[in-house]
Structure 1
């Protein structure tokens, strides 16, 4: 089953009030409630685009796939790429655990790869 998995992105971006953030980004309160409550089964492409724009991500970052119980999938099944890992550690927590030199190196690597 495919679902939207926004919580890790909100945590990574330091968004403490997702409802307010999404309404300010342009979603209606009604749509925001449905999206945050995982009550929506059909997503409008303009909503996906708005989410990607507001959260600076791509659609695959928003989606999570959970395999159907009892069903076997081949190792190369394309949706397996959308399985969420079990690591729930906050990215900001991870960054604070790095030494200053490690953080400088990561920043340097990031800036080098960005060019």
Structure 2
């Protein structure tokens, strides 16, 4: 049987998101990738999971995550831009907040004037 790449689900359009960052922070896991790979998850899947780009998750992966992180499936998922009726059960999930892009020193300095930089250096 030939495998076909899934093209129907686009990451930004997925409304329910696997969001591992809060639970990893709560569990004080300094190296999430290494931790998840050590639990037996595939390196490629781990990368997508940690970036919030995973579009599918099987029950084995879900069980592994819940067991390793001592949590329930509800602790792993968030909602991204989903319009739901007022009393919908999915409203119990937290809102997905993407990680802010890290700014390099060069990018940060590019928005500052010379006077601002001199003032910062004197502090």
Same fold, TM exceeding 0.5?
yes
Q: Does structure 1 residue 77 correspond to structure 2 residue 88? A: yes
Report the alpha carbon displacement of residue 66 of structure 1 after superposing the two structures with TM: 2.4
Report the alpha carbon displacement of residue 46 of structure 1 after superposing the two structures with TM: 0.6
CA distance in structure 1 between the partners assigned to 2:29 and 2:39 by the alignment: 12
CA distance in structure 2 between the partners assigned to 1:85 and 1:52 by the alignment: 19
Task: Report the RMSD for the aligned CA atoms in angstroms.
Answer: 1.8
1:26-74 per-position Cα deviation (integer Å, ceiling 9, x unaligned): 1121221121122221111110110000000010100101233xx4x32
Q: Does structure 1 residue 24 correspond to structure 2 residue 38? A: yes
Give the number of aligned pairs: 83
CA distance in structure 2 between the partners assigned to 1:74 and 1:33 by the alignment: 33
Residue equivalent to 2:81: 67
Contact preservation (8 Å) 1:48, 1:59: yes
Give 1 or 2 for the bigger CA radius of gyration: 2
TM-score, structure 2 normalization: 0.61
Matches within 5 A, 1:84-103: 84=95
Greater relative contact order: 1 or 2 (C-alpha under 8 angstroms, separation 6 or more)?
A: 1
TM-score, structure 1 normalization: 0.65
Show structure 1 runs of 5+ residues with no match: 87-115
Q: Does structure 1 residue 6 correspond to structure 2 residue 23? A: no
Which of 59, 69, 92 matches 1:55?
69
